[in-house]
Structure 1
């Protein structure tokens, strides 16, 4: 029975070391919790900052909010429509310029 008790006895120096390690672990745990709280706070601030930035960009690109709720397909269709209108206008301008610079036929010939 004495041999079992001697095996279960932990030297005082080991108990002190365990106690010291436990204190250090508690300190580290508190630091981790504090850092986690700071991380969550920074994450939330970043999220609101990004949302604000996106809102500013949206208002710059679409001040009237005309396209805010449009689908991607509707926006693409609007782009194609605008490009088509620009091409038609450019072609019309070119045709008018070309017609005005053609030599007059039948005058003096």
Structure 2
């Protein structure tokens, strides 16, 4: 399955380079980082996780020899978005397999 972002019953507000989402169904709000915003936007049912990772590598101008595991970050972000009901569906690969035992902060620094 390709990642599909949930868009119904959500109120969106841009604040700088972040996005605030208010979920009217769950009565909760979420602040998405620029990376999470792009993953959510690219989760349109047409992009695979690999497609999203490649697009983000280009957008963030990551060099080919970079230590950043963008695919792992995409999976980690999708899991977070799914936890908050902002993603409808995707083919899950646990982030723990991608970046075993690594905290989110360390993964982003890497």
Would you say same fold, with TM above 0.5?
A: no
More helix by share: 1
TM range, normalised to the smaller chain?
Answer: under 0.3
**If the length of structure 2 is used for normalisation, what is the TM-score?**
0.19
**If the length of structure 1 is used for normalisation, what is the TM-score?**
0.19
More strand by share: 2
Which of these two proteins has the greater Rg computed from alpha carbons?
1
